[in-house]
Structure 1
Amino acid sequence: MLKTLDSALALLTRFTIDEPTWGVRELAKATGTHHAVVHRVLATFAANGFLMQDSAGRYALGLRLFELGQVAHQTFVPSAVVQPALDALAEHCGETVFLTLLDGNEGVCTDIGQSQQQLRFSVELGQRFSLLAGAHAKVILAFQSDEFRAAIYQSADIADAATIDGDLARIRADGWSYTREEAAATVAGVALPLRSSDRRRVIGSLGIAGPLQRIEGETVTQLVEILKKTRETIEPVVGLNR
């Protein structure tokens, strides 16, 4: 029975933005499933409102799925995904992991995965940061508009904006940021940008910070790779309503 359910759901997931409608034989050919089975499954979904059928016999997603999507949207708690992911990453790398979101012209720490090491980077929920120092901050600033960056420089009375612009250009080219002793003495950090759900804006960062002697050399490259894996999990959630 579970195998049948798996097969039915596999057919349902074929309805995507790129391919929103399917005919029975067309879907059967695409999935390698007998057309009689496909017909039976699609008809059952349609009878229960999960699919609807047009006059040409093609199927599309139905209003019942829209209703369930609304329920999920209103009751979904991002922290249920984010916090376990940060905790797992902190345990894996042994360093403090934290999420920073852009708020006005500052970054604010919204979620933390605590390092269990005695010597560790300390950050607090709700702590605010300038966007001009630290990997977690600069990786956000790097992907903002020229006008936004200029306003940040002006408000901080930055005389040598060209040097910072050069740093930010390198961050944009690399897709990640690494800094040493910028936000705090003896501390190094690595961070990746987090994008909005439409992928058009950088809304925050996912960062790791710890003692300089533990975050340098080849370790930095390794941390970037594990950050990327965690980002795949949390970015769709973090960017959902931003």
Structure 2
Amino acid sequence: MLKTLDSALALLTRFTVQEPTWGVRELAKATGIHYAVVHRALATFAASGFLRQDSAGRYSLGLRLFELGQVAHRTFAPSDVVQPALDALAQTSGETVFLSLLDGTDAVCTDMAQSQHQLRFSIESGQRFALVAGAHAKAILAFQSDEFRAGVYQQARLANSAEIEDQLTKVRADGWCHTREEAAATVAGLAVPLWSRDRRNVVGSLGIAGPVQRLEGEAIPRLIEALKKTRETIEPVVGLTS
């Protein structure tokens, strides 16, 4: 029964902005689910108002899903997803973890979880920072437009931006950033960019920071993978916090 339910729910996830309508045969072919199973599932969803069928026999999302979406919108708090994810990452990494969102030509730390080590990097929610120093900053800046970056350099009064541009080229190629003693002495940082839900813009970053000696060598691949895994959890809702 659960397998049948999983298959039926998987069919619903195929209805997207890019592909809002489906015919039975078309959906069966796309999913590899037998035609009879697809036909029965879509008919059941339509009977309950979760889908609707047009005169050509094609299905689209129904008003019942819209109603449930309104309930979710009114009762869902992004922090219910973000904070537990940050807490878990701080626990597994042993370091301070923080979420930052782009605000104008700066960024702001909106959520964080502290390391349990006595020697640790400290940052406060609401703390604003420039985009020219630190992994958490450069993971954002690297993916902004040339014009935006030039404005940031001018605001920071950088006489020569060539060095930082070389660093940002590497960040774009790698998809993550690692810095040492840029934002604070004896502190290293790792960060990954956070993309908007349409994947067009980087709107923030997810970072880990701690003493240089703990964010070096073999620790880096492990922590980057942990960051990416946590990003998968928080990225879908991060737009709701901005």
TM-score (norm 2): 0.90
Q: Distance in 2 between matches of 1:78 and 1:57?
A: 37
Q: How does 1:178-217 map to 2 (within 5 A)?
A: 178-217=178-217
Partner amino acid, structure 1, of 2:218: E
SS at match of 1:178: strand
Identity percentage of aligned residues: 74
Q: How many residues align?
A: 241
Q: Distance in 2 between matches of 1:140 and 1:108?
A: 11
Shift in CA distance, 219/21, structure 1 to aligned 2, threshold 3 Å = same
Contact 2:134–2:183 (CA<8 Å) still a contact in 1?
A: yes
Shift in CA distance, 176/33, structure 1 to aligned 2, threshold 3 Å = same
* Stretches of structure 2 lacking an aligned partner (at least 5 in a row): none
Shift in CA distance, 38/177, structure 1 to aligned 2, threshold 3 Å = closer
TM-score (norm 1): 0.90
Deviation at 1:75, TM superposition (A): 2.8
How large is the Cα RMSD of the aligned pairs?
A: 2.1
Shift in CA distance, 225/55, structure 1 to aligned 2, threshold 3 Å = same
Contact 1:196–1:240 (CA<8 Å) still a contact in 2?
A: no
Contact 1:188–1:212 (CA<8 Å) still a contact in 2?
A: yes
Shift in CA distance, 104/23, structure 1 to aligned 2, threshold 3 Å = closer
- 1:133-168 residue CA offsets vs partner (Å, 9 max, x unmatched): 111011111111111111111112111111111111
Shift in CA distance, 188/58, structure 1 to aligned 2, threshold 3 Å = same
- 1:116-147 residue CA offsets vs partner (Å, 9 max, x unmatched): 11111111111111111111011111111111
* Stretches of structure 1 lacking an aligned partner (at least 5 in a row): none
Q: Distance in 1 between matches of 2:58 and 2:207?
A: 47
Deviation at 1:179, TM superposition (A): 0.7
Residue of structure 2 in register with 1:227 after alignment: 227
Shift in CA distance, 79/241, structure 1 to aligned 2, threshold 3 Å = closer
Larger CA deviation: 72-81 vs 137-146: 72-81
Contact 1:49–1:62 (CA<8 Å) still a contact in 2?
A: yes
Q: Distance in 2 between matches of 1:165 and 1:82?
A: 31
Q: How does 1:52-131 map to 2 (within 5 A)?
A: 52-131=52-131
Q: Distance in 1 between matches of 2:26 and 2:173?
A: 43
Q: Distance in 1 between matches of 2:154 and 2:3?
A: 62
